[in-house]
């Protein structure tokens, strides 16, 4: 899947806002705010459940990595996520 197409599909889910559970949260981290080298995906099945987490790393900006963006789409689809939240800012890795 092309990176732009994957980003649009994720954005479409994010724009729906919080609609309930299951919930997928996507956060980006890097050494500086311009390049996200780590993606953290959190899955919550129901309110109060333990959060499951998966991390992806990239040598370049993960937001433009076709493999990672496609994997995010697959995670959202397989989890049957009702809500998808995405932090647009890149957190700094200390």
Task: Locate 3 and state its tokens.
Answer: 């990176």
pLDDT at residue 94 above 70?
no
pLDDT bucket at 1, cuts 50 / 70 / 90: low
pLDDT bucket at 88, cuts 50 / 70 / 90: confident
- Cα–Cα dist 6/68, whole Å: 10
Mean pLDDT of 82-93: 92
- Reported as a single tens digit per residue, the pLDDT across 65-82 is 999 999 999 999 999 999
- Please name the CATH architecture into which domain 3-92 falls: 2-Layer Sandwich (3.30)
- Reported as a single tens digit per residue, the pLDDT across 16-75 is 999 999 999 999 999 988 999 999 999 999 999 999 999 999 999 999 999 999 999 999
| Distance set, CA 91 to CA 27, 28, 32, 36 (Å) | 8, 6, 8, 8
C-alpha R_g of the chain? 13
């Amino acid at each position: 899947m092309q990176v732009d197409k994957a980003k649009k599909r994720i954005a479409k889910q994010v724009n729906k806002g919080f609609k309930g559970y299951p919930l997928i949260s996507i956060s980006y981290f890097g050494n500086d705010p311009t390049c996200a080298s780590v993606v953290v995906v959190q899955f919550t099945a129901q309110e109060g459940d333990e959060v499951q987490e998966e991390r992806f790393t990239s040598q370049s900006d993960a937001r433009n990595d076709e493999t990672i963006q496609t994997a995010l789409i697959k995670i959202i689809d397989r989890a049957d996520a009702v809500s998808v939240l995405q932090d647009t800012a890149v957190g700094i890795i200390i």
